[in-house]
Amino acid sequence: MPREVREVVFVDGVRTPFGKAGGMYAETRADDLVIRCIRELMRRNPQLPPDRVDEVAIAATTQIGDQGLTIGRTAALLSGLPKTVPGYAIDRMCAGAMTAVTNVAGGIAMGAYDVAIAGGVEHMGRHPMGEGVDPNPRIIAEKLVDPSALVMGSTAENLHDRLPQITKERADRYGLNSQLKTAKAYADGKLQPDLVPVALRSAEQGWGLATADEAPRETSMEKLATLKTPFRPHGRVTAGNAAGLNDGATAALLASEDTARELGLPVAMRMVSYGFVGVEPEIMGYGPIPSTEKALKKAGLTIGDIGLFELNEAFAIQVLAFLDHYGIADDDPRVNPWGGAIAIGHPLASSGVRLMTQLARHFAEHPEVRYGLTAMCIGIGMGGTVIWENPNWDGEAK
């Protein structure tokens, strides 16, 4: 029978404050972080009956320990959702939460779901990237990839080699500006509304409460210039122009637009298109460029139609390569208005929903903008982009 494709909307998104790996969440379980996010989504949207949630998709890159056991299902149960609500786990490394969103969106669009929760969690303090993995030796021995492809920082150095116009100084300046924009966003109260406070317990220090990201710091170009380049002697990638190792979780509520209207749920964004692509694993950071080209083509749009960008700052070089390709200035106010992962943190599989939640907030403040996008590079040589439409668009500008 013929089916009508339904509009998919982003209703709401939340996240925990992001911690440094092994920092404030050292004695907090990974699954408890994502459970906290799911509970907060339900609390913020009391008009949604819990039994109307049709699916819970939760991403984690390292799916062992407290990030294992089909975390989407276990987190749903522990969050208090009915036992009739199913769930599953997903992995696309850095784009785990982004893929969780696009996966459930496909189900919503074709009518399999009306409402779904999608998100991600990464506790890099408990589970360092690569823990427990056993790469097939043929991937290196048969020269399918260079050994550097398995070290994300090395792939960033490789991209610097390909794009010599993006100097270390330029990457440092981008990193500094990310810190400054995030500090201003906190001072202006922009980030706090979607942060879920998390109770902390330390055997030595007792109880505490996480209410803000742990990673942001004050710095300067002079300080950044002195930082070590851990991936290559005299390299260009440092802790100042790349995201750190972080712990945190995110969750988002998605629905068909007609279901959202029926239940009185807010419509923060409308999904337009998305694209995932593969690139040479050795230059992973290039991935968002072709994935954006793919998503734009699917949507019948051009880069000139995009009025807001939320780009994951795994490395400054990755964002700068994207900006250069599309002829966008490093300090364009449409790009990451509240800073990004260099300041806030990048708990791998959770970050895609952070980008979406911030874009939704920008849309609410900018009715003159019709389209925005979220994009990120992905480990082992991939890129992902999702294009969104602003339901608050006033029709006067793109």
CA 376 to each of CA 209, 316, 338, 394, 395: distance values in angstroms, whole numbers, following the listed order: 30, 12, 16, 28, 29
- Is position 377 annotated as part of the catalytic site? yes
Q: Which residue reads 């669009």 in tokens? A: 109
Which residue bears the tokens 């699916």? 55
- Asked whether 198 and 209 are in contact (CB, 8 A), the reply is yes
H-assigned helices in 21-167: 30-44, 71-78, 96-110, 138-141, 152-162
- How does strand 306-311 pair with strand 87-90? unpaired
Catalytic residue (one of 123, 127, 366, 377): 377
Place of tokens 């668009």: 393
Q: Is the dihedral of CA 90, 97, 341, 31 positive or negative?
A: negative
What distances in angstroms separate CA 303 from CA 179, 306, 307, 362, one per listed residue?
26, 6, 9, 18
Catalytic residue (choose from 123, 127, 346, 362): 346
The b-or-e profile of 346-376 (16+ CB within 10 A means b, else e) is bbbbbbbbbbbbbbbbbbeebeebbbbbbbb
Local structure of 372: helix, strand or coil: strand
Torsion of CA 368, 343, 173, 307, to 10 degrees: -10
Active-site position among 37, 94, 123, 362: 94
- Cα 319 to chain centroid distance, Å, stands at 14
Catalytic annotation present for 94:
yes
CA 110 vs. chain centroid, Å, equals 25
Is-catalytic flag, 37? no
The residues carrying an active-site annotation are 94, 346, 377
